[in-house]
Chains A and B, each alone.
Chain A
Amino acid sequence: MAATNKMRRANKREQDEEPISEFCRKIEVENRVITICMHKNKKNNNSKTRTTLDVLPSCLIYKILCYLPFKEATQMSILSKTWLQAWLTHPNLEFEFGVPYMKIVDAIMERYRDKKIPIEKFELSDSSSSSSRGFPLIDKWIDIALQNGVKDLVFKVADVSLPIFTILAAKCLRELVLEGCTLMPTGVVKCNSLRKLSLSYVGLDEDMLRTLLNSCPLIVSLVFEYCSGVGRIELLNLEKIKSVSISTQSNLLVKIRAPTLEHLSYSGYLSYGLDVDECQNLTSLDLSYMWTSGGSLEYLISRLQSLKVLKIQYFEGIAEINSPNLVSFEYIGDQIPGLKIARDSRKLKHSEIVLHCYDYLNIDAWFCKLRNFLSNSTSWSQVSLYFPKCNEINMKDLQLLHNRSIAAPQVDVLDVYIPCQNEEYCPTFVQALLWSCHPTRLNLHS
C-alpha cells in the first residue's frame, strides 16, 4: 500500500509541476524543483529521542491549505515554493468582487480552466457594492466553475442576472447560495444533486420559485429570506427536506407539507398563520419578530406532537404553550410575555428566558409583572435579565402591587447584566431581583 501511495504522490507531483512552472513563468519566477524530505526517514532508527519534523510532506501542506479560506491560503503562497504549488490547486475559490481585482480573478479562473484544476467551491461576493450589471466575466467564470465540477456555488452580488437553469443543469452541484442577484427564467431542468438552496434578497416571482423548487426536489435545507416578489410559498413535494428557514418583511402565505421536516424557523409578518401539516418529524421550531393575530400559532404548536425544541424571539403574541413533548423552551425579548407553559409539560428539561428591560418609568410594576409571569409556569432553569442601569426600588410599593394569591416563582439560575460604573449595586435593586425571581443562584455581571 505504501508503494501505491508513493505512486499516487509521484503522479500528483507530475500533475502539479505543470501548473507551477506555468505560473512561475507568467510571474517570471525561476522554478526550481523542490524536494521535501521527512526528517525521520534520514534519522537513525535506533535513537529513541528525536528532534521534531523539519517539514510536513507537500501532500499534507496541501491538505492543511484546503482548510484555509482562499484569501488566507493566498497569503501562504509566499512561504515557499511548496506552499505556492499547493495554493495553485486550492479547490475553494472565494473572491471579493471589485474592479481593481477583476484581472487577477480572471487570470486565476483561466488558469483553472486551462489546467482543468478541480473546483469544489466558487464564491463571488461584492463588498464594494459597485454595480456590476451585465458584467460579462461573471458568466465566463460560472462556466469555468461548472466545467471544473464545482459543488458549492455562492453568489453575493447585486444587480447580476444569473442563468439559473444553466447552473442547475450541472450534475454535481451540492449547495447554491444566492444573495442580491436576479434569476433569468429560461428552461426547465432537474438537479437531483442539490442539497442546500439559499435565496436572500433574490429577485424572483412565485412562478420562478415554484419552477426552482421543482427543479431541485431532493434539497435537505432551504433558506428563503426577504425575496420581495413572492407572496406565497408552498413546500409540498420536497422528499428529503429537513430544515426550512423563512424571513420576510411582507405578508407571506406559507403552506408546508413535509413529513421529513425537522427544523422550521420563521421570522416576520404572518397574518395568515402558518399552514404546516403532515410534519410529524418536526422537532425544532424557531419563531422571531412576528406580527400575527393570536390563536393560530397556539393551535399549530399544540398539534406538533413531535416538537422538542421551541425558541421564541421578540414576539409576544403567544398566550399558552401546550406541547406535551417539549424538552427545551427559550424566550428572548424586550417585553415580559403574556405566555404560560402548560403545567403538564413534564419532559421540559431546559427553560430559559432572556429579557432586555427598557421600561424604567414603571420599574416597580415591571418587577411585579416579571414575578407574576415567572410563577405562571412550574419552573425556569435560567433567567437572564439585561438592564441599562441600576435603580433604587421602593420595596414597599412592590409589596403593595403584588397579588398575594400567586405562588412564588422557581428559578434555578438568574443572570443579571448591568453596566455598573462604580461596581456598586443598589441594595434595593438586588432585593427586588431576589423577590421577583426567587433564584437558587444569582450571578451579577457588569
Chain B
Amino acid sequence: MASTTETKQKKMLILKSADNDEFEIEESVGVQSETIKNLVEDGFTFVPLPNVYTKALIKIIDYLKKHANKTDSNDEEIKTFDKDFVNTTFDDLFELVSAANYLHISCLMNMLCQTIADRIKDKSPEAVRKIFHINCDYTPEEEAKIRKANAQAFEGQFDESLD
C-alpha cells in the first residue's frame, strides 16, 4: 500500500502515441527525453507524440524506467537489459532510432546508432541496401566510378546475410 500512496504523490505525465494510445509515466522518468523535458518545463502534463508509434513507445518507456533507476549496484542488470533491448530486427531498430531521435534521448541514440553500425559493418553494399530498403540511385557507370575513387575501402570479403 505504501507504494501506491507514494505513486500518487509523484508528478505524472501522459504520453500519447501516434496511434492514439495513452501511457501514464512518472515525470522523473519522462524528462530523460529532452523533448519531453522542454514540454514539462513549459507546464505540459499531456504530451502528444505524433512521430512515435505505440510499439516503439512501449519499448522506450521500458528503457526510460530502467535507466531512471540507475544506481551503483545495478550496473550489470542495466547492461543485460540494454543488450536485450537492441537484440531485435533491423526494422525495429530503425523505428526505435527514429523515435529516440525525435524524443532526444542521447544515451539511447548512441546505443542504437552504435548497434546498427556494428551490425552492418562487414556487410556487402547489396545486403545493406536490402536492410535499409534503399533504391540505388546511381547508374552502373557512376557506381563503378565511386568504387574506383575509393578502391582501398572495397578490398576484402563481405558478409551477405541480412540479419
A contact residues vs B (CB 8 Å cutoff): 1, 27-30, 32, 34, 38, 40, 45, 48, 50, 52-57, 59-60, 63-69, 71-72, 74-84, 96, 100-101, 104
Q: How far is the CA of A75 from the CA of B143 in the complex (A)?
A: 11
CB of B117 within 8 A of CB of A64, answer: yes
Main secondary structure of the interface of B (DSSP, over half): helix
Give which listed residue, B95, B137, B153, contacts A81 with CB less than 8 A.
B137
- For chain B residues 93-151, which have a beta carbon within 8 Å of chain A? 94-95, 97-98, 101, 109, 113-114, 116-118, 120-122, 125, 128-129, 132-139, 142-143, 145-147, 149-151
Residue of B nearest to A32 (CB): B137
Give which listed residue, A48, A64, A67, A83, contacts B19 with CB less than 8 A.
A48
Give which listed residue, B19, B38, B117, B136, contacts A79 with CB less than 8 A.
B136
Given A27-B145, A67-B113, A80-B134, A53-B91 contact (CB < 8 Å): yes
Could you name 16 residue pairs across A and B whose Cβ atoms are closer than 8 Å? Answer: A1-B35, A27-B149, A29-B142, A29-B145, A29-B146, A34-B137, A55-B132, A57-B98, A64-B116, A64-B117, A67-B118, A68-B117, A71-B153, A72-B121, A74-B150, A74-B152
B contact residues vs A (CB 8 Å cutoff): 18-19, 35, 38, 51, 53, 91, 94-95, 97-98, 101, 109, 113-114, 116-118, 120-122, 125, 128-129, 132-139, 142-143, 145-147, 149-154
CB distance from A202 to the nearest CB of B (A): 27
CB of A28 within 8 A of CB of B117, answer: no
CB of B113 within 8 A of CB of A66, answer: yes
CB of B94 within 8 A of CB of A56, answer: yes
CB of A27 within 8 A of CB of B146, answer: yes
Given A29-B138, A29-B142, A79-B129, A104-B117 contact (CB < 8 Å): no
- Given A53-B91, A68-B121; 13 other pairs, CB 8 A cutoff: A29-B145, A32-B137, A52-B91, A60-B101, A63-B109, A66-B113, A67-B116, A72-B153, A74-B153, A79-B129, A79-B136, A104-B151, A104-B152
A-B interface, 8 closest residue pairs, ranked by CB to CB distance from nearest: A67-B117, A74-B153, A52-B91, A29-B142, A68-B117, A67-B113, A78-B125, A74-B150
The number of residue pairs between A and B whose CB atoms lie closer than 8 Å in the complex comes to 108
CB of B38 within 8 A of CB of A64, answer: no
Q: Which chain A positions have C-beta within 8 A of B51?
A: 40
Q: How far is the CA of A30 from the CA of B140 in the complex (A)?
A: 12
Given A53-B98, A55-B134, A78-B121 contact (CB < 8 Å): no
Q: Which chain B positions have C-beta within 8 A of A81?
A: 137-138
CB distance from A109 to the nearest CB of B (A): 14
Given A78-B143, A78-B147, A56-B153 contact (CB < 8 Å): no
Q: How far is the CA of A66 from the CA of B109 in the complex (A)?
A: 12
Q: Which chain B positions have C-beta within 8 A of A74?
A: 150, 152-153
Given A53-B95, A60-B97, A75-B154 contact (CB < 8 Å): yes
Q: How far is the CA of A82 from the CA of B129 in the complex (A)?
A: 12
Q: How far is the CA of A40 from the CA of B51 in the complex (A)?
A: 8
Q: Which chain B positions have C-beta within 8 A of A84?
A: 146
Residue of B nearest to A98 (CB): B152
CB of A80 within 8 A of CB of B136, answer: yes
Q: How far is the CA of A38 from the CA of B129 in the complex (A)?
A: 17
CB distance from B100 to the nearest CB of A (A): 10
Q: Which chain B positions have C-beta within 8 A of A45?
A: 18
Q: Which chain A positions have C-beta within 8 A of B120?
A: 68, 76
CB of A60 within 8 A of CB of B98, answer: yes
Q: How far is the CA of A34 from the CA of B116 in the complex (A)?
A: 23
CB distance from B155 to the nearest CB of A (A): 9
Q: How far is the CA of A83 from the CA of B143 in the complex (A)?
A: 12
Q: Which chain A positions have C-beta within 8 A of B137?
A: 32, 34, 80-81
Q: Which chain A positions have C-beta within 8 A of B95?
A: 52-53
Q: Which chain A positions have C-beta within 8 A of B129?
A: 79-80
Q: Which chain B positions have C-beta within 8 A of A104?
A: 149-152
Given A50-B53, A75-B154, A104-B149, A56-B97 contact (CB < 8 Å): yes
Q: Which chain A positions have C-beta within 8 A of B128?
A: 76, 79
Given A77-B150, A79-B132, A84-B146, A53-B94 contact (CB < 8 Å): yes
Q: How far is the CA of A53 from the CA of B143 in the complex (A)?
A: 25
Residue of B nearest to A23 (CB): B149
CB of A75 within 8 A of CB of B35, answer: no
CB distance from B127 to the nearest CB of A (A): 10
Q: Which chain A positions have C-beta within 8 A of B135?
A: 80
CB of A79 within 8 A of CB of B146, answer: no
Q: How far is the CA of A75 from the CA of B113 in the complex (A)?
A: 17
CB distance from A317 to the nearest CB of B (A): 34
CB distance from B124 to the nearest CB of A (A): 9
CB distance from A104 to the nearest CB of B (A): 7
Q: How far is the CA of A74 from the CA of B135 in the complex (A)?
A: 18
Q: How far is the CA of A1 from the CA of B33 in the complex (A)?
A: 14
Q: Which chain B positions have C-beta within 8 A of A48?
A: 19
CB of B142 within 8 A of CB of A30, answer: yes
CB distance from A68 to the nearest CB of B (A): 5
Q: How far is the CA of A28 from the CA of B142 in the complex (A)?
A: 8
Q: Which chain B positions have C-beta within 8 A of A38?
A: 98
CB of A101 within 8 A of CB of B152, answer: yes
Q: How far is the CA of A404 from the CA of B118 in the complex (A)?
A: 57
